[in-house]
């Protein structure tokens, strides 16, 4: 999608602090971190949110979760971490391109799961 921030970051057209990249997805540090480690993992293909996950892209989403586990290990998140994907306005999704937040490096609040 030509007017999508995370499509542009994934394509390298907008700079980011990338920590991982392969042919299907990439990961970069969140510009406004909410934890000592706060990384976003996004598919290179435009998918709007979890609401658009289908049988056709489920393997890609599964692959992203293997990448999440690798990144968490590389970041040394041995104490645990949280994976979040906001979907739509009520959840506060601000970028309409599927992304998974990896948050770690501190004890997460007990509220909001
Ligand atoms: P969400 O609110 O779940 O849609 O998450 C979007 C995230 O993207 C927020 O945590 C933002 O801080 C982050 N963000 C927005 N623009 C950029 C950018 N240019 N580089 C890295 N992260 C960004
Ligand atoms: Zn996009």
Question: Is the dihedral angle over the CA atoms 28, 33, 36, 38 positive or is it negative?
Answer: negative
Ligand 1 atom closest to Cα of 86?
Answer: 3
The DSSP annotation for 32-43 comes to S-SSSEEEEEEE
Cite the active site residues. Answer: 99
pLDDT in tens, 86-111: 999 999 999 999 999 999 999 999 98
pLDDT in tens, 17-48: 999 999 999 999 999 999 999 999 999 999 99
Residues 99 and 41: beta-carbon distance below 8 Å: yes
Q: Where are the beta strands (DSSP E) in 22-99?
A: 25-29, 37-43, 81-84
Shortest-distance ligand to the CA of residue 7? 2
């Amino acid at each position: 999608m030509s007017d999508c921030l995370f499509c542009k970051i994934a394509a390298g057209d907008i700079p980011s602090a990338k920590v991982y990249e392969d042919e299907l997805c990439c990961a970069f540090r969140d510009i406004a971190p909410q934890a000592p480690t706060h990384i976003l993992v996004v598919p290179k293909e435009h998918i709007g949110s979890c609401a658009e996950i289908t049988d056709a892209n489920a393997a890609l989403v599964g692959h992203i979760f293997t990448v999440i586990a690798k990144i968490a290990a590389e970041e040394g998140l041995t104490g645990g971490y949280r994976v979040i994907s906001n979907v739509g306005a009520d959840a506060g999704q601000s970028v309409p391109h599927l992304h998974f937040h990896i948050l770690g490096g501190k004890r997460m609040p007990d509220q909001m799961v």
